[in-house]
Structure 1
Amino acid sequence: MGCCSSKEVNGAASRTSRWRSTGIVGLRDSKLKTIPNDVLDLERAVRTLDLTHNKIVDIPLEISKLVNVQRLILADNLIQNLPLNLGRLQSLKILVLDGNRITAMPDELGLLIRLERLSISGNLLSCLPETIGSLRSLQLLNVSNNKLKFLPESIGSCFSLEELQADGNSIDALPLSICSLIHLKSLSLNHNNVNQMEGFQEFESRRKKKFDKQIDANVMINSAGLDEGLDLR
């Protein structure tokens, strides 16, 4: 027993040392119900935290200690609420929360000013906070398969947005501000109730013309569905 216990301690210490040296913490499919304290205690050392496919229900307030984390991946868990101090993760660039039970995003989301990719598909969201407009670095927003009835007017302030995925909601109208998204390459609204708004057809025509020119000039574009335009069903 003593020998086995010693090996377990040494193994845990080795794992923690590896996390600290690489900055990458990967605990996929580990049957976790909470974020381990030995991960949170790494604080500034963590740059990537991947806890996909566990049984995590709550994100502890201590998550704010990971001030240098750039990629936070919590897909396929049982998360219902996000801590209000999530906005303290000022280095965060990628946040993945797909396949949880989240009903609302806190206003503090808008404090994540370096965020480039936000994916929260397959949750229970009925609306997005107006503060999402503060995410000026956001390039990808995936809110597919939620319960959204509309997108906030402030989304037009996400000036860097290139890809907006909102399939499988109950959206019946688009905000006028969406025409301000001059870098938008892909807009996906399948399985909603959207009717085209005034001025959108002109916007869509300009958008396609712009990126068709880039393709003709052999500019590499990595967004899927560029030529599909908007499918209103």
Structure 2
Amino acid sequence: MGCCQSQNSDSKANRAARWRSTGIVALRDAKLKTFPDEVFELERSVRTLDLTRNKLVEIPMEISKLINMQRLVLAENLIQRLPINLGKLQSLKVMTLDGNRISSLPDECKTSFGQLVRLERLSISENILTSLPETIGSLRNLLLLNVSKNKLKSLPESIGSCFSLEELQANDNIVEDLPASVCNLIHLKSLCLDNNHISQIPPNLLKDCKALQNISLHNNPITMDQFQQMEGFQDFEARRKKKFDKQIDSNVMIGSKGLDEGVDLR
């Protein structure tokens, strides 16, 4: 028994030493129900934490000790809520929380979600979010936001303050309309809103979002005629075709709807 305990201790010590050396803690498919305590003991050493496909129900408050962490990947767990001190992880650039049971994001004043000011990629699809906090507008470096497959009825007006945003995915929700502020997203290239309840989009969207190359609105009430009559449609169509031509020139494989990308609204 003593020998087995010694080997187990050595194994844990070796694992912790490896984590400290590389800065990468990867425990996918490890059947974890709680975070390993030794992870928090590493504190500033952790750069990436990947606990995908486990059975985690919550994220402990001790997560705030990992102040140098840049990538947090907790997809496909059973997480129901995020700790209110998550905003202290101000080095975080990538956060992936797809496939959990999260119903809301922290919005408290001093420790809000909006304090993750270096965040560049946020993916929280396949959860049960009913709204996004207004503080999300503080994420000025955000390039990708994926909130598909939730229960969102709307997007906050503050989304227009995510000035760096290039890709917004909000497929498979119950969104009825978009805030006018999305027209402020001058770097937006792709807007995906399939399977919602959208009957119209802000009239200046195509005119103001001059980087936009793809809009996907399949299975929404909005009609093709409405879309084509919007100011800026011709310029948008030219950008879309240019992107498609580049894909052909590069021999990139595309799906059967490639020619209709961003245009077929049925």
- Normalising by structure 1, we get a TM-score of 0.91
Q: Contact 1:64/1:86 (CA < 8 Å) preserved in 2?
A: yes
Q: Which amino acid aligns with 1:18?
A: R
Say whether 1:187 aligns with 2:185.
Answer: no
Say whether 1:68 aligns with 2:73.
Answer: no
- Tell me what 1:56 maps to: 56
- Tell me what 1:9 maps to: 9
Q: 5+ residue gaps in structure 1?
A: none
1:216–1:18 distance in 2 versus 1, CA, 3 Å: same
Q: Secondary structure at the match of 1:84?
A: coil
1:34–1:207 distance in 2 versus 1, CA, 3 Å: farther
Cα distance in 1 between the residues matched to 2:243 and 2:261: 16
In structure 2, which of residues 172, 175, 191 is the aligned counterpart of residue 171 of structure 1? 175
RCO higher in structure (CA 8 A, sep ≥6): 1
* Residues 3-43 of structure 1: per-residue CA shift (max 9 Å, x gap): 22211111110000000000000011111111111001100
1:35–1:226 distance in 2 versus 1, CA, 3 Å: farther
Cα distance in 2 between the residues matched to 1:119 and 1:26: 19
Q: Contact 2:206/2:236 (CA < 8 Å) preserved in 1?
A: no
Q: How does 1:145-164 map to 2 (within 5 A)?
A: 145-164=149-168
- Tell me what 2:24 maps to: 24
Deviation at 1:229, TM superposition (A): 2.4
Q: Secondary structure at the match of 1:87?
A: helix
Cα distance in 2 between the residues matched to 1:158 and 1:214: 24
Deviation at 1:196, TM superposition (A): 2.1
Cα distance in 2 between the residues matched to 1:217 and 1:232: 23
Q: Contact 1:27/1:52 (CA < 8 Å) preserved in 2?
A: yes
1:231–1:38 distance in 2 versus 1, CA, 3 Å: farther
- The number of aligned residues is 230
Cα distance in 1 between the residues matched to 2:56 and 2:172: 25
In structure 2, which of residues 113, 116, 120 is the aligned counterpart of residue 112 of structure 1? 116
* Residues 76-119 of structure 1: per-residue CA shift (max 9 Å, x gap): 11111111100000000000000000000112110000000000
**Rg larger in structure:** 2
Deviation at 1:195, TM superposition (A): 1.7
Cα distance in 2 between the residues matched to 1:227 and 1:180: 26
RMSD (Å), alpha carbons: 2.4
1:160–1:227 distance in 2 versus 1, CA, 3 Å: farther
Cα distance in 2 between the residues matched to 1:20 and 1:207: 49
Say whether 1:132 aligns with 2:132.
Answer: no
Q: Which amino acid aligns with 1:48?
A: T
* Residues 49-80 of structure 1: per-residue CA shift (max 9 Å, x gap): 00001111111111000000000000011111
Q: Which amino acid aligns with 1:200?
A: L
Q: Secondary structure at the match of 1:141?
A: strand
Q: Contact 1:146/1:169 (CA < 8 Å) preserved in 2?
A: yes
- Tell me what 1:199 maps to: 204
Query: Identity of paired residues, percent?
Result: 63
- Tell me what 1:229 maps to: 262
